[in-house]
Amino acid sequence: MATAKATIAYPHVVKTPGVCGGRARIEGTRVRVYNVAFLHKDGATDDKIREAYADLTPAQIHAALAYYYDNRDEIDAELAEDESWAESLGR
């Protein structure tokens, strides 16, 4: 029997059509979840992420990471798309 995925609310994380391409972002900012996830995957600590995005609180960073871990396919696809776009500029 298939189970439905539970709907989970992520405080501090929103998606707004027309803002950041409708991608998941930190509420009140234009910092996308994949920006935080990229740094995290690169080995950045919370303190290093806050250096890059000084206006973010620890709660916002952790909410973004929780969203990332619950929606890895979505965020990893966005990261791959961004990487592909950046590589195309180098041609």
What pTM does this model have? 0.84
Is 58 among the domain residues? yes
Among candidate residues 11, 32, 36, the one with its CA nearest the CA of residue 21? 32
> What would the pLDDT profile of 61-86 be if each residue is shown by its tens digit?
999 999 999 999 999 999 998 777 65
Print the domain residue range for 40.
33-89
Instruction: CATH number of the domain at 57, please.
Output: 1.10.10
> What would the pLDDT profile of 27-48 be if each residue is shown by its tens digit?
999 999 999 999 999 999 999 9
Q: What is the DSSP string of 47-69?
A: HHHHHHSTT--HHHHHHHHHHHH
Is 51 among the domain residues? yes
CB 15 within 8 A of CB 24: yes
Is 19 among the domain residues? no
Is 65 among the domain residues? yes
Is 2 among the domain residues? no
The total of structural domains in the chain comes to 1
Is 21 among the domain residues? no
